[in-house]
Structure 1
Amino acid sequence: MDVVGRLLALLVVLLVGTGLRTTGVLDTRRTELLNALAYYVALPALIFVSTYTRSIGDLLTPALLGGLLVVVLSTAGLAWLAHRHLDSRARRSVAIVQSYHSNLGYLGLPLVAATFDASVTAIASVVLGVVTLAQLPLTIVVLSALNGADASIRREIRGLATNLVLVSLFAGLAVGSIGVSIPSTAASGLDAVGSIALPIALLCVGASLQIDLPSVDVGATAAVVALKVGLMPVIAWTVFSALAVDSATFTASVVMLGTPTAVSTFVFANELGGDSEFASLNVFVTTLASIVTMFVLISLVS
C-alpha cells in the first residue's frame, strides 16, 4: 500500500500542476521559474548527496554501462521499425524519439530517491548520466535526419560539459572517489534541497501538459506508450537479468528506464522540425500511463 500511496500522490501533484496552469496560477513565466529551480538547484543537490560517499568504481561497472547502452539502442531500433509506416516525417521522428527518450531527471531519479535506499539512488544517478549522454545525441540525430533540420551535434555535446546535472554527478563521484569529507550541515542542507526535486518537477510537468483532441493519432500514440513504458522496461529487465548484476543495479536500471517520455523531447521536436502537438500529447499520455506501469515495476523489484 505504501507504493500505491506514493504513486497516487505523484498523480495528484501532477494534476495539481495542470489545474494551476488552467486557472492561470502557473503561467509561462512561473512555470519556467519552477523548472529552473528543479533543474538547476534541486536536482543537482539530489544527485550530489546521492553519490558523494561512493567511489566511481563502486557505481559504474562494465555491466551497467553495457546494459544501459543495449537497452537504449535496442528500444530505438524497435521504435524505428514500429513507426516506419507513419507518412509524416515530422510525426515519425517524434514517435521514434519518444519511444526511448526517458524522463530520468525530473521523474526517474527523484522517484527512486523517494522510494528506495541510498545505494539504489546512487546507482540511479549514474544511470541518469550514462543514458543522458547516449540518448541526447541520438535524439538530435534522429530528428535532424528525418526532418532535414540544421542542428549542431557538436554544440549540443559541448553544452553537456556545462550541464549542472552532469557536473553535480561528476563532482559527487570525484568527492566519493577521493574520499573528501563533507560537513554534516552542508550535507543535510543539500539533502533538504534535493528532497523538493520530485514535487516541483511534477508540478512543472503537469503545467506543461496540453491536449488538442482533434489532432490525436490514437494508433501512433498507443505505439509510443507501448514501447516506452511497456516494452523498454521489459527489455531492461531481460538484459540486466542476463548480466546478473547486483540487486541495487538491477532495481535502479529497470525503474529508471521504465520512466515516461521526457518533457525535453517536446522542446527538441519544436526546435528540430518535429510534430510538437503530437510530442506534447505523448508526454502527457506516457506520464499518465506510467502511474500504473511504475507501480507494477516498483512492486516487482521491491
Structure 2
Amino acid sequence: MEVLLRLSALLVVLLVGTGLRVSGILDATRTDRLNAVAYYVALPALIFVSTYDQAIGELLSLELVGGLLVVFFTTAGIAWFVHRNKADSGRQGVAIVQSYHSNLGYLGLPLVAATFADPVTAIASVILGVVTLVQVPLTIVVLSTANGADAELAEELRGLAVNPVLVSLLVGLAIGSLGITFPGTAVVGLDAIGSLALPLALLCVGASLDVDLPSIDYGATGSVVAVKIVAMPVLAWVAFSALAVDTATFAASVVMLGTPTAVSTYVFAAQLEGDEEFASLNVFTTTLASIVTLFVLITLIT
C-alpha cells in the first residue's frame, strides 16, 4: 500500500505540472528554469550524497556493467525489429530510441532514493552514469541516420564530459574511494536539495506534455510502451537473476531499467528532425503507464 500511495503521489505531481502548463503558470521560460534547477542542482546533489561515502569498488562490478549492456542492446535490437518497417522515417527513429532510452535521472534515481535504502540508491547512481554514456550517443546516431539529419556527435560526446550528472557521480565516487571526510552539515544541506529532484522533475515532465488525441497512432505508441516498460524490465529481471548479483544491485537495475521514456528524447527528436508530436505522446504515455508497471516491479522486489 505504501508503494502504491507513493507512486500515486508521483502521478498527482505529474498532472499538476500539466495543469500548470495549461493554465499558463508554467510557460516555456519558467519550465526551462525549473528544469535547469532540477538538472544542474537537485539531481547532482542527490547523486553526490548517494555516492560520497562509497568506494567505487563496492558499487561497480563486471556483472553490473555486463548486465546493463546486455539488457540495453537487446532492448535496442528488439526496438529496431519491431519498428523497422515504419514508412515514416521521422516516426521510425523516434519509436526505436524511445523504446530503450530510459528516464534514469529525472524519475529513476529519485524514485529509487525515495523507495529503497542508501546502498540501492548508490548503485542506481552508477547505473545512471553507465547507461547515460551508452544511450545518448546511440540515440543521436539512430535519429540522425533515420532522418538524414546532421548531428555533431563529437560535440555531444564532449558535452558528456561536463554533464552535471556524470561530474557529480565521478566526484562522489572519487571522495568515497579516497576516504576523504566530507563535512556533515554540507551533506545534510545537499541531502535536502537532492530530495527536491523528484518533485521538480515530475513538474517539468508534466509541463512538457502536450498531446493531440486525434493524431494518435495507437499501434506505434502501444509498441513503444510494450518494449520500454514491459520488455526492458523483464529482460533486466532475467539477466540479473542469471548473474546472481546481490539484492541491492538487482533492485536498482530492474527499477532503473523499468523507468519510462526520457523527456530528453523529445528534445533530440526536435533537434534531429524526428516527429516531435509523436515523441511527446510517447513520453506522456510511457510515464503514465509506468506508474502501474513500476508499482508491480517494486512490489515484487520488496
CA distance in 2 between counterparts of 1:246 and 1:223 reads 32
- Pairwise CA RMSD of aligned residues? 0.5
Q: Across the two proteins, how many residue pairs are aligned to each other?
A: 302
Write the letter of the residue equivalent to 2:233. Answer: P
Aligned to 1:230: 230
Aligned to 1:17: 17
> Following TM superposition, by how much is the alpha carbon of 1:205 offset from its aligned partner in structure 2, in angstroms?
0.4
1:163-204 deviation per Cα after TM superposition (whole angstroms, max 9, x unaligned): 011000000000000000011100000000000000000001
CA distance in 2 between counterparts of 1:254 and 1:154 reads 31
CA distance in 2 between counterparts of 1:9 and 1:299 reads 16
Write the letter of the residue equivalent to 1:46. Answer: L
> Following TM superposition, by how much is the alpha carbon of 1:215 offset from its aligned partner in structure 2, in angstroms?
1.6
The runs of 5 or more residues in structure 1 that have no matched partner are none
SS class of match (1:143): helix
> Following TM superposition, by how much is the alpha carbon of 1:214 offset from its aligned partner in structure 2, in angstroms?
2.1
CA distance in 2 between counterparts of 1:89 and 1:202 reads 30
SS class of match (2:7): helix
CA distance in 2 between counterparts of 1:44 and 1:82 reads 35
Percent identity over paired residues: 71
CA distance in 2 between counterparts of 1:282 and 1:175 reads 39
Superposed, which structure 2 residues align to 1:1-302 within 5 Å?
A: 1-302=1-302
1:204-250 deviation per Cα after TM superposition (whole angstroms, max 9, x unaligned): 10000110112210000000000000100000000000100000000
1:115-149 deviation per Cα after TM superposition (whole angstroms, max 9, x unaligned): 00000000000000000001000000100111111
CA distance in 2 between counterparts of 1:146 and 1:203 reads 31
SS class of match (1:267): helix
CA distance in 2 between counterparts of 1:211 and 1:136 reads 25
> Following TM superposition, by how much is the alpha carbon of 1:153 offset from its aligned partner in structure 2, in angstroms?
1.2
CA distance in 2 between counterparts of 1:260 and 1:278 reads 15
Write the letter of the residue equivalent to 1:34. Answer: L
SS class of match (1:158): helix
1:1-20 deviation per Cα after TM superposition (whole angstroms, max 9, x unaligned): 10011000000000000001
CA distance in 2 between counterparts of 1:98 and 1:180 reads 40
CA distance in 1 between counterparts of 2:35 and 2:225 reads 24
CA distance in 2 between counterparts of 1:97 and 1:215 reads 20
Write the letter of the residue equivalent to 2:235. Answer: I
CA distance in 1 between counterparts of 2:13 and 2:213 reads 23
Write the letter of the residue equivalent to 2:58. Answer: D
Question: How high is the TM-score relative to the length of structure 1?
Answer: 0.99
1:82-111 deviation per Cα after TM superposition (whole angstroms, max 9, x unaligned): 011211011000000000000000000000
